[in-house]
Amino acid sequence: MAINYKSQPRKNPQDLVAPAKYYAAVVPNGSVDFETLAEMISEQSALSTTDCLAALNILEVNIIRELRQGRIVRLGRLGNFQVSISSNGYDSPEAVSADGITKGRVLFRPSVKLKNMLKVLKFARVS
């Protein structure tokens, strides 16, 4: 199955008077939620949907708990989650403090298996 894309105009933020250029952009094909994932897992295993949903909820709670501790969360053949931060720049190491941290974000680093999946994707243009 191919991933649908469309052409989308984008302005250059460094030169707003320049003409827009066109780029390929993915057209989403729906989404899947926790409950649907739990049902899918249940159909592929001996576990009930309720058991699967409970396990996914516990996984979510524990991933958040571990990220709050500054730990890298490794999810086997899926990939890794890690907290990253942005901060102001200072002239000396001593001047750096928590007050200078401007933003936190969660990074996801895909596994080799996911990276390989990206290499074999097929694409189809839609209007």
Which domains does the chain show, CATH number per domain? 3-12+20-88+99-125 (4.10.520.10)
According to DSSP, residue 76 is labeled: T
CA dihedral 84, 64, 72, 95 (to 10 degrees): 40
Q: pLDDT at residue 127 above 90?
A: no
Q: Convert the pLDDT of each residue in 6-49 to its tens digit.
A: 999 999 989 989 999 999 999 999 999 999 999 999 999 999 99
Q: Where are the beta strands (DSSP E) in the chain?
A: 3-10, 21-26, 73-74, 79-87, 101-110, 123-125
Could you read off the pLDDT of 39-72 as tens digits, one per residue? 999 999 999 999 999 999 999 999 999 999 999 9
Taking each helix axis from N to C end, the angle separating 34-43 and 49-68, rounded to the nearest 10 degrees, works out to: 130
Q: Could you identify the residue written with the tokens 């001047």?
A: 95
Rounded to whole angstroms, how far apart are CA atoms 9 and 87?
32
**Stretch 78-100: mean pLDDT:** 95
Whether 75 shows a pLDDT value over 90: the answer reads yes
Residue 113's identity, in one-letter code, is: K
Q: Give the Å distances, CA to CA, from 47 to 34, 41, 44, 66.
A: 15, 8, 8, 26
